[in-house]
Amino acid sequence: MEMVRNILLLLHLAGMAGILISLLRSRTTIATGLVHSALTATVAGIALVGIRYPLHNSDPMKWPLPDNAKIGMKLLFVLIILALAIANRKKETISSNVWSFIGALTIGNIIIALVW
């Protein structure tokens, strides 16, 4: 079970890195990789939360229950990123405000994960 968690964690981190890389590669359009990376991060994150409960049941001292407020905030951020990416992916150019907002939400999501 711990191996599955580690694989999901790697997928989640790869998804978040993919969002940042896609943003840095193209400042005027939404790359397809950004949408795919956001979906990967979302699905892997939800699976990480889901697997945490059985891990907690097997060893509560090693695996505390997830902080649902933190998870809710991170989910909200990534869903906004997904909505913006899907809404703007077919446009030839995006405004710098959309690009900056997606970047700020991604960095905010990473900060929440590390600090909270």
Give pLDDT tens digits for 70-108.
999 999 999 999 999 999 999 999 999 999 999 999 999
Helix axes 96-115, 2-25, angle to 10 degrees: 150
Half-sphere exposure of 32 (CA within 13 A, CB side): 0
The whole model's pTM is what? Answer: 0.90
Half-sphere exposure of 8 (CA within 13 A, CB side): 16
Torsion of CA 97, 77, 113, 28, to 10 degrees: -30
Give pLDDT tens digits for 52-74.
999 999 999 999 999 999 999 99
Give pLDDT tens digits for 33-56.
999 999 999 999 999 999 999 999
Average pLDDT of the chain, as a whole number: 95
